[in-house]
A = this chain, B = another copy of it.
């Protein structure tokens, strides 16, 4: 562990004042001869002086670092978002600090303040679902966001009554596409595995399911909807109940749920798509969840990351104006997990 070389060390080396050295190394206009400038730069190189970027950030007010807050870094959707955002940052000469909130609103507040206090230039923020839940009051989070001295963009999960830049996927539309596709292929007894408790996006996916059915005059049956959470074992545990209800198709609202569904169906000897059709939601190309041939609504995580970064950069560079809403349209990608009931 080396002692850090300071401005003072460089100044002593060249026999000039610290302030002269600081002016030259920070490229500030000054009345120092070209020869002395060169000597200072040479000594800084030789001593391996690295500007204290924290101190410099205080003066320059720019760290070329942004922060990201996600609810659960172990969820592949968020680890992908982090990786895609990191790529966008790197291309633009920025670094990314990723933080995890554990889906707790009080930790959101902590992470926001921590990133701010470490001098990031802006924050990409996926709020915890706790705050999205109607029972939570969220006064603390609102206060912290209002008092934040750096710009932020809300991504994926958005709190409706907070005015700020937002980038998100149209979850209801995506779910509607999935279910309309199943209806088009002759399915009417369609099961749904959704996370609706503490998840606004989950609820929107359920609305999409219900609306698609209602538009075609197909009754929405509560016994065909099962509550899951975003873990594989919840799909594994619940899918058997839908099979017992005699569904011909299942809309599984997250690849995490679908991974468990596929394992359990294989164990039960239920073939996809011969015995039951499955449509999933996410379809992350880079995901570690291996679902070959799945028909799924694709959320473009890369697009979400790029738009969030671009919007944040606009604010970091001082562009004012009304908060923007940027809505990413999901797309149904057709695989081989749906059977057309009209064909023999």
Chain A residues close to B by CB (< 8 Å): 1-4, 48, 50, 52-55, 57-58, 63, 65, 67, 72-76, 79-80, 82-83, 86-87, 90, 95-100, 102, 107, 110-111, 113-114, 117-119, 146-151, 231-233, 236, 256, 259-260, 263, 266, 286-290, 292
Q: Pick 11 A–B contacts, CB within 8 A, sort by A.
A: A1-B148, A1-B149, A2-B147, A3-B149, A54-B58, A73-B83, A73-B86, A233-B290, A236-B292, A256-B288, A288-B288
Extra contacts besides A52-B58, A82-B100 (9): CB < 8 Å: A4-B149, A72-B83, A73-B82, A74-B76, A76-B76, A86-B99, A98-B100, A259-B288, A259-B290
Whole-angstrom distance from the CB of A131 to the nearest CB of chain B?
A: 18
Contact in complex: B1, A150 (CB < 8 Å):
yes
Q: Quick one: which of B2, B76, B95, B147 contacts A146, CB cutoff 8 A?
A: B2
Whole-angstrom distance from the CB of A69 to the nearest CB of chain B?
A: 11
Q: Which residue of B lies closest to A113 (CB)?
A: B50
Contact in complex: B54, A117 (CB < 8 Å):
yes
Contact in complex: B118, A53 (CB < 8 Å):
yes
A232 to B52, CA, bound (A): 43
Q: Quick one: which of B83, B113, B233 contacts A100, CB cutoff 8 A?
A: B83
Count of this chain's copies in the oligomeric assembly: 2
Residues of B within 8 A of A289 (CB): 232, 259, 288-289
Q: Quick one: which of B54, B80, B98, B231 contacts A97, CB cutoff 8 A?
A: B98
Whole-angstrom distance from the CB of A89 to the nearest CB of chain B?
A: 10
Contact in complex: A118, B98 (CB < 8 Å):
no
Contact in complex: A1, B151 (CB < 8 Å):
yes
Given A54-B119, A288-B289: A95 and B114 interface contact (C-beta under 8 Å)? yes
Given A74-B83, A76-B288: A118 and B100 interface contact (C-beta under 8 Å)? no
Whole-angstrom distance from the CB of A207 to the nearest CB of chain B?
A: 26
Q: Which residue of B lies closest to A87 (CB)?
A: B102
Q: Which residue of B lies closest to A97 (CB)?
A: B97
Interface centre among A97, A149, A150, A236 (most CB of B within 10 A): A97
Q: Which residue of B lies closest to A260 (CB)?
A: B290
Whole-angstrom distance from the CB of A6 to the nearest CB of chain B?
A: 11
Residues of B within 8 A of A97 (CB): 67, 97-99, 118
6 A-B pairs with the lowest CB-CB distances in the bound complex, closest first: A53-B117, A232-B290, A97-B97, A98-B98, A4-B149, A2-B147
